[in-house]
């Protein structure tokens, strides 16, 4: 035990040197100049022969996150991240994705219900200098989904360097609700990504075993690619659509004056009615939509509070020593010029279908485990340290077979001291129970990623609709990308 602690201290100490801002996440006091909030470009493609067609190029780029320091990046049509794609439910889309990166990649459509061949997981590699053209009908309801690299064992690094973007889906139901929906004006997309940097400005990806174990947590948070931006509100009632695009960090979001906001949507779209909150946790890959009243013209800061990371034992100790759980600022919001928009928060949005758990075809166990102790990973196979049902990801093994047009109950059991955000492709599910309790109203929306507490159990109801394929699987995995790359992923067919 003594020796163990000594080794951990050594591993932590080695993190402390030579990295830019290695010891603190920022607060506004640390930034003198004001940086403008950036809104990702919106790209609606063009209609050609009845299809909505998008042209995307995966490419290398360069960003100046710090004045005078260049960071090599990768992006989609832009140097870092990609444009926000937008389409309507029912439309048939076609995406030409050209890979100019110089190495292989993939683009996965996170949250979409779509044919397995179009999913963009590890089986749909886009070789360097080739074009992949997925085509599918938009089946999802109005929501903010996203797209990102999903290359086997390389997802963490490729997303870290910039391969991700948003996808907004509209439908008639949500458009009729009079919610703020003017992109970049009162409907504001936000991608949160914490990052570490070397002193030359380059990204510092995983550099230690402990970072592989906990997932990489950065000392700076990029907000749509900008550190510590100031957002100047144009409208009093503003809708923020927030993606946690971080590899591993969970945020506990709230405003500096603890003001209430209305949670109106989760991963898969609108809730049935708004839920008033002043804090909400957001794990990697999850999205929320909130409405905030900025009518008091006061400056306020969107921040992340302490308490976001629920980790225990040795893991909790390590993570607190590494400053993973602290309070820090994200966006300064100035609303002295915000205009009244006459929009009010509706009291009811939409009705969700009712799924009766008794009609599920069965209960499927998903047991999450990770190799522990300092012997972990040293000298071994780096892709064989995280497990689902006792096995690490294997492209040649199908772990589960579901039937189209059925739904199942998945019992996700966490036998590790760390929380894991569990994601399933090709579905929007509902939470049945978290440990011994019913989901809170804020947790009752459509989800594609759910947090499973350390040593906890989460039950979800998972529908498989629309598509089947006897050969090509979908993935389920932990969305801490270092865990996914380390083996915490499996494959399922829908037949
Ligand atoms: Cu995990």
Q: Would you state the pLDDT for residue 23?
A: 52
- Do 364 and 426 contact (CB within 8 A), yes or no? no
Q: Would you state the pLDDT for residue 373?
A: 59
Closest among 315, 245, 257 to 8, alpha carbons compared: 315
Distance from the CA of 93 to the center of ligand 1, in angstroms? 32
Distance from the CA of 266 to the center of ligand 1, in angstroms? 20
CA 455 to chain centre: 22
Longest Cα–Cα distance in the chain: 69
Distance from the CA of 163 to the center of ligand 1, in angstroms? 20
| Mean pLDDT, residues 55-77 | 96
In the numeric block, which tokens belong to residue 70? Answer: 């260049």
> Mean pLDDT lowest for which of 59-63, 213-217, 366-370, 478-482?
213-217
Distance from the CA of 353 to the center of ligand 1, in angstroms? 30
Q: Which residues pair with 254 in a beta bridge?
A: 303
Q: Which CATH entry fits the domain spanning 36-172: 3.60.20.10, 2.60.40.420, 1.10.1660.10, 3.20.19.10?
A: 2.60.40.420
Distance from the CA of 481 to the center of ligand 1, in angstroms? 8
Distance from the CA of 450 to the center of ligand 1, in angstroms? 11
Distance from the CA of 488 to the center of ligand 1, in angstroms? 7
Distance from the CA of 65 to the center of ligand 1, in angstroms? 28
d(CA 245, CA 221): 10
Q: Would you state the pLDDT for residue 345?
A: 83
d(CA 451, CA 456): 10
* Fold match, 2-32+180-334 / 357-494: yes
Phi, then psi, of 118 in degrees rounded to 5:
-100, 0
Distance from the CA of 418 to the center of ligand 1, in angstroms? 7
CA 94, 58, 105: angle at the middle one, nearest 5? 90
Distance from the CA of 482 to the center of ligand 1, in angstroms? 8
> Mean pLDDT lowest for which of 178-182, 187-191, 423-427?
178-182
**What confidence category does residue 427 fall into, taking pLDDT thresholds of 50, 70 and 90?**
very high
Distance from the CA of 459 to the center of ligand 1, in angstroms? 17
pLDDT greater than 50 at residue 270: yes
The mean pLDDT of the chain is: 91
| Mean pLDDT, residues 180-198 | 96
Q: Which CATH class is domain 357-494?
A: mainly beta
d(CA 100, CA 61): 11
Residues 6+ apart with CB under 8 A from 49: none
Distance from the CA of 419 to the center of ligand 1, in angstroms? 7
Q: Which residues pair with 230 in a beta bridge?
A: 36, 332
Residues 6+ apart with CB under 8 A from 251: 192, 244, 281, 282, 304, 308, 330
**CA dist 53 → 106, 258, 380 (Å):** 18, 43, 45
Closest among 315, 415, 420 to 369, alpha carbons compared: 415
Phi, then psi, of 227 in degrees rounded to 5:
-85, 130
CA 354 to chain centre: 26
| Mean pLDDT, residues 359-385 | 82
**What confidence category does residue 11 fall into, taking pLDDT thresholds of 50, 70 and 90?**
very low
d(CA 107, CA 78): 15
Kindly give the interhelix angle for 2-13 and 313-321, rounded to the nearest 10 degrees: 30
Ranges of each domain in the chain: 2-32+180-334, 36-172, 357-494
Distance from the CA of 484 to the center of ligand 1, in angstroms? 7
Distance from the CA of 478 to the center of ligand 1, in angstroms? 5
Q: Which CATH class is domain 2-32+180-334?
A: mainly beta
Distance from the CA of 422 to the center of ligand 1, in angstroms? 7
Distance from the CA of 26 to the center of ligand 1, in angstroms? 26
SS3 of residue 468 by DSSP = coil
Give per-residue pLDDT as tens, 283-306.
999 999 999 999 888 999 999 998
**What confidence category does residue 68 fall into, taking pLDDT thresholds of 50, 70 and 90?**
confident
- Do 368 and 379 contact (CB within 8 A), yes or no? no
Give per-residue pLDDT as tens, 303-355.
999 887 777 776 777 777 676 778 899 999 999 999 988 788 888 778 999 99
Distance from the CA of 116 to the center of ligand 1, in angstroms? 24
In the numeric block, which tokens belong to residue 480? Answer: 């801490």
Task: Report the side by side order of strands in the sheet with 164-170.
Answer: 42-43, 84-88, 164-170, 143-148, 108-110
CA 432, 435, 441: angle at the middle one, nearest 5? 50
pLDDT greater than 50 at residue 8: no
Q: Would you state the pLDDT for residue 379?
A: 59
- Do 259 and 276 contact (CB within 8 A), yes or no? no
Distance from the CA of 480 to the center of ligand 1, in angstroms? 5
| Mean pLDDT, residues 268-275 | 96
pLDDT greater than 60 at residue 10: no
In the numeric block, which tokens belong to residue 337? Answer: 């010029």
pTM of the model: 0.93
pLDDT greater than 50 at residue 22: no
């Amino acid at each position: 035990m003594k020796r163990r602690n000594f080794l951990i201290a050594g591993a932590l100490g080695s993190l402390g040197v030579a990295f830019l801002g290695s010891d603190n996440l920022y607060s506004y006091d640390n930034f003198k100049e004001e940086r403008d909030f950036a809104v990702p470009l919106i790209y609606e493609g063009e209609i050609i022969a009845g299809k909505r067609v998008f042209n995307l190029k995966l490419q290398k780029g360069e960003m100046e996150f710090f004045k005078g320091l260049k960071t090599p990046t990768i992006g989609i049509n832009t140097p870092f991240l990609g444009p926000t794609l937008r389409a309507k439910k029912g439309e048939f889309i076609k995406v030409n994705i050209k890979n100019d990166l110089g190495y292989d990649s993939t683009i996965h459509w996170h949250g979409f219900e779509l044919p397995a061949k179009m999913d963009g997981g590890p089986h749909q590699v886009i070789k360097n200098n080739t074009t992949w053209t997925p085509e599918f009908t938009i089946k999802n309801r109005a929501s903010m989904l996203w797209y990102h690299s999903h290359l086997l064992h390389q997802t963490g690094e490729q997303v870290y360097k910039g391969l991700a973007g948003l996808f907004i889906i509209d439908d008639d139901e949500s458009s009729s609700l009079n919610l703020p929906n003017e992109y970049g004006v009162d409907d504001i997309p936000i991608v949160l990504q914490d990052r570490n940097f070397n002193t030359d400005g380059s990204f510092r990806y995983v550099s230690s075993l402990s970072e592989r174990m906990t997932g990489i947590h950065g000392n700076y948070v990029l907000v749509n690619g900008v550190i510590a931006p100031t957002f100047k509100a144009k409208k009093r009632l503003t809708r923020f659509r927030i993606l946690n695009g971080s590899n591993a960090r969970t945020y506990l979001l709230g405003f500096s004056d603890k003001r209430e906001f209305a949670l109106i949507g989760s991963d898969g779209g609108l809730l049935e009615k708004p839920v008033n909150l002043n804090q909400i946790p957001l794990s990697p890959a999850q999205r929320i939509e909130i409405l905030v009243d900025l009518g008091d013209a006061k400056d306020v800061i969107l921040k992340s509070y302490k308490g976001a990371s629920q980790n225990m034992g040795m893991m909790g100790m390590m993570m607190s020593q590494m400053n993973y759980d602290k309070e820090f600022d994200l966006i300064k919001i100035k609303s002295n010029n915000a205009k009244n928009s006459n929009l009010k928060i509706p009291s009811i949005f939409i009705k969700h279908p009712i799924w009766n758990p008794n009609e599920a075809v069965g209960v499927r166990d998903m047991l999450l485990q990770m190799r522990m102790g300092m012997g972990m990973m040293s000298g071994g196979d780096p892709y064989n340290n995280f497990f689902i049902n006792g096995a690490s990801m294997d492209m040649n093994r199908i772990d589960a077979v579901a039937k189209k047009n059925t739904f199942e109950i998945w019992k996700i059991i966490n036998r590790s001291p760390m929380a894991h955000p569990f994601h399933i492709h090709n579905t929007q599910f509902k939470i049945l129970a978290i440990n011994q309790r019913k989901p809170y109203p804020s947790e009752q929306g459509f989800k594609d990623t759910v947090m499973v507490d350390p040593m906890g159990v989460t039950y979800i109801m998972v529908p498989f609709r629309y598509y089947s394929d006897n050969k090509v699987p979908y993935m389920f995995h932990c969305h801490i990308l270092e865990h996914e790359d380390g083996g915490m992923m499996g494959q399922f067919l829908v037949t």
